[in-house]
Amino acid sequence: MLETPIEVVKCRAQVESGTGAKLGSFKIAQMIAKKEGLKGFYIGGLMTAIHDGISSGIFFWGYFVFRRLLRGEQPFVATASQTPTSSTSKAMPDAPPPSPAGKTFEDGKMNKGEVGRILLAGGLAGALSAVVPYPFDIIKTRLQTSNFEAKAHAPPPSSSSTSSQPSKPPPIPPKTHITLPPSALASSNPLSIRAVALGIHTDGATSYRYRYRSTLVYSFLSNHIFKPKLGAGGKIVDGRPAADPRAEKWALRVLGLKGFTRGIRPTVISSFVGSAVTITTFELALHWLGGDSAGTGGVG
């Protein structure tokens, strides 16, 4: 609810191109409010919710596991400091003491080794949380930026006060078939999630249009799944049995998934650095403010 409007404005500001002065975030927000209303700020809201829900769950789970592994501890075994000491609590099996390499505090201060483990664990968890739900991020971005340039740079409607009669469009010759471009269709009808996903898949398959036969996917499908037909039922090309056309179709279907991974490398790097710095700042602040007096090391 709170993040989606910011994401819409941010994504549209990032894809803004063309010559001349840029609109900027505030003008983009004003344009959305004027032309699309409140609904325009929540385009792609479902994909944002799914992406962020999956990403947040993976991040905190991954950070907890990676940090304990880097300490040399069992991720899902309670340590001695977490074992209940109350007489009313149930007896817990003895847990192995933490190894010297996993020592968190020295004289009440977090040691440098632990800070390094927090940085690495946070970065790895951030990278993992960026990779798994990345296709939802691609769909969300495409929904939020579809046809933005056409809307942003469209000329204002002509004023009726300058002429006594409104301007009429030029007459259309008879028996003329008119095909609207995809951008015109997108401006009149909002894109659905399914249409955007199919478009992304098509973009991925198109990038392999003339070289799919050299991929491992096609080689595997044509040699092991859809083997060439031998005998009278199969065609002969260059003295060899022709490949099954199903191998081509399924190879392009699989290779089309590449469209959902475009831009993943800078995203993973950005998430690694940002998550490492953010969680380390949080852990250090929690420790300095006395919220880590139990010695459990904050989140992990």
Residue 227, C-beta contacts closer than 8 angstroms, at least 6 positions apart: 244
Q: What is the pLDDT of residue 179?
A: 41
156 versus 41: the higher-pLDDT residue is 41
**Cα 264 → chain centroid:** 8
The pair of three-digit structure tokens given for residue 88, joined into one six-digit string:
């009313």
Q: How confident is the model at residue 105 (pLDDT cuts 50, 70, 90)?
A: low
Q: What is the pLDDT of residue 279?
A: 94
Residue 94, C-beta contacts closer than 8 angstroms, at least 6 positions apart: none
Does the pLDDT at position 90 exceed 70? no
The 10 Å Cβ neighbour count of residue 4 is: 20
Q: How confident is the model at residue 186 (pLDDT cuts 50, 70, 90)?
A: very low
Alpha-carbon distance of 143 to 279, in angstroms, equals 30
190 versus 132: the higher-pLDDT residue is 132
Q: How confident is the model at residue 132 (pLDDT cuts 50, 70, 90)?
A: very high
Q: What is the pLDDT of residue 229?
A: 62
Beta bridge partners of 109: 106
Q: What is the pLDDT of residue 273?
A: 96
Residue 278, C-beta contacts closer than 8 angstroms, at least 6 positions apart: 122
Q: How confident is the model at residue 197 (pLDDT cuts 50, 70, 90)?
A: very high
When pLDDT is averaged across residues 126-137 and rounded to a whole number, the result is: 94
Alpha-carbon distance of 60 to 180, in angstroms, equals 47
Alpha-carbon distance of 131 to 152, in angstroms, equals 32
Q: What is the pLDDT of residue 274?
A: 95
Q: What is the pLDDT of residue 35?
A: 83
Does the pLDDT at position 131 exceed 80? yes
pTM of the full predicted structure? 0.67
Range in 16-20, 281-285, 295-299 with the lowest mean pLDDT = 295-299
Does the pLDDT at position 98 exceed 70? no
User: Per-residue pLDDT tens for 201-256?
Assistant: 999 999 998 888 889 998 898 888 887 665 445 555 555 556 678 888 999 999 99
Q: How confident is the model at residue 139 (pLDDT cuts 50, 70, 90)?
A: very high
User: Per-residue pLDDT tens for 4-34?
Assistant: 888 888 888 887 765 566 777 888 888 888 8
- Report the mean per-residue pLDDT for the chain: 76
Q: Is 50 exposed, middle or buried (0-12, 13-18, 19+ CB in 10 A)?
A: middle
Does the pLDDT at position 175 exceed 50? no
Does the pLDDT at position 149 exceed 90? no
Does the pLDDT at position 103 exceed 90? no
Which CB contacts under 8 angstroms, 24+ apart, belong to 194-198? 196/139, 196/142, 196/143, 196/146, 197/139
Does the pLDDT at position 168 exceed 80? no
When pLDDT is averaged across residues 186-204 and rounded to a whole number, the result is: 79
User: Per-residue pLDDT tens for 25-82?
Assistant: 888 888 888 888 888 888 888 888 999 999 999 999 999 999 999 988 888 776 655 5
